[in-house]
Chains A and B, each alone.
Chain A
């Protein structure tokens, strides 16, 4: 599996995307905080975090007995840069912004 395969595989799961969303809201959470709103065993959450870590989407730092998880968007940025160059960037972000605005007001 190459780097991109690992990223796409990791993102192809709603629980794992939910974990990334939680870290996007607030970074540096512990396993205890991340499992709190998931109906899943601690072991299950750990397995998902492991897949995210292997794909480079989550990095961890230890502090004493606690392990903190950080969202690492670098692999997503690399995928972005592969297909969206500086010329298409403006067009793409204008359309993305339009969609967000229209759907918010709907």
Chain B
């Protein structure tokens, strides 16, 4: 990680009984994200410089948008993040989300999400706080059981 950790960073991690490739699919395919990411469909080609979009399930609304900064399947995905579902937060400067996938010796895969560059975006920080915890536990349950977790 080149980033310098600061106190506004949000770091969440989970160990998943799945391969790094399966975790990568769950992050990058809308048929998975709709089942654990508040019902949103991810939409991106994942080429560096291309948009990263989070759409409502029926694809009619953009709930978040960003730009792909780094993409190294199945190891690392980094993109900027602008919250669009909240008026105050959407006026703030874009922040950054990094998904790190690391295979473990015991056959599980560690997924870490770091949401940083939030220093100038307190409303965004507040609106995503707790959200990553919910998303990661849902992602783990989905991959390990094939069933979505709870209500969206």
Chain A contact residues, CB within 8 Å of chain B = 3, 26-29, 56, 59, 61-64, 66, 68, 70, 72-75, 77-78, 81, 85-86, 89
Contact = CB atoms under 8 A, between A and B. Distances in A.
Interface residues of B, number: 26
By secondary structure, the A interface counts as mixed
B13 interface: yes
B150 A28 contact: no
Interface of B: 1, 3-15, 112, 114, 130, 133-134, 136-137, 140-141, 149-151
Contact of A61 (B1, B8, B134, B149): B1
Contacts of A75: 14
Contacts, number: 70
Contact of B149 (A72, A73, A81): A81
A72 B1 contact: no
A70 B89 CA distance: 23
A85 B150 contact: yes
29 contacts: A3-B15, A27-B11, A28-B6, A28-B7, A56-B13, A56-B15, A59-B12, A59-B13, A61-B1, A61-B3, A62-B1, A63-B5, A64-B4, A66-B5, A68-B5, A70-B9, A72-B11, A73-B130, A74-B13, A74-B137, A74-B140, A75-B14, A77-B133, A78-B141, A81-B149, A81-B150, A85-B150, A86-B150, A86-B151
